[in-house]
Amino acid sequence: MIKLFTAVNAPNPRALENIIAIKQIEVETITIDLIGGENRGDDFVKTNPAGQLPCIELEDGQVIAEVAAIAEYLEELKPDPVLVGNNAAERAHTRMRMRQIDYLILAPGMAGFRNTEGADFFRSRMRIDKTIGEPMKRNTVDGLVWLNSQLAGQDFICGDQLRYVDCIFYPLALFLSKVSIPIGAELKNLTSYMQRLSEHDIIGAR
């Protein structure tokens, strides 16, 4: 059985748990103490050299990190329900959206948080530079404005179907909105989207 290394109350682990639950894939769950730094300890870094969560370990011992890469793997393992796409063009579209969301919103958003409100927590884990925090947050807000425009007339990030990008974006954006970068009420397409996802029985639960 696949082993899932996860953590409580953390948005990237939550994103993968969403995908696994939607696809109804049975996994053995191993909870790592992220707050206590177990993910950065010698033992766990042997499993995932990136020292982050989540990751999965396959039956042959191979470890895969990065939620989007794991989502692609799980889609090949169990294509139904579809979370990447039904054909080559749909799959490319989903991957395009994931890259855009990562570059324009999630990467600057997490860097913004880690270098401001999160600095004391992350200082022992990575290089912290408070001068980059606020510019990163401003870039994130620009990304949110862009995403708001892209969501006009559609229910999900890739169109009218839920994709793994939604499973990832929602918990990350929710987390960032609570701790660091609120979503402006004027971004009506985006706030409606967040409301819609909060009503999803798996993604919005807890």
Ligand X SMILES: N[C@@H](CCC(=O)N[C@@H](CS)C(=O)NCC(=O)O)C(=O)O
Residues near ligand X, by CB under 6 A: 10-12, 34, 39-40, 52-53, 65-67, 125
Instruction: Give the residue from 42, 32, 30, 33 showing the smallest Cα distance to 1.
Output: 30
Across the strands, what pairs with 156?
159
Residues 194/147, Cβ–Cβ less than 8 Å:
no
Q: Which residue, 54 or 187, has its beta carbon nearer to ligand X?
A: 54
CA atoms within 13 A on the CB side of 131: 0
- Closest separation between CB of residue 38 and ligand X, Å? 9
- Closest separation between CB of residue 92 and ligand X, Å? 20
- Closest separation between CB of residue 77 and ligand X, Å? 18
Q: Which residue, 5 or 193, has its beta carbon nearer to ligand X?
A: 5
Q: Which residue, 21 or 189, has its beta carbon nearer to ligand X?
A: 21
- CA–CA gap between residue 168 and residue 69 (Å, rounded): 12
Residues 1/28, Cβ–Cβ less than 8 Å:
yes
- Closest separation between CB of residue 86 and ligand X, Å? 24
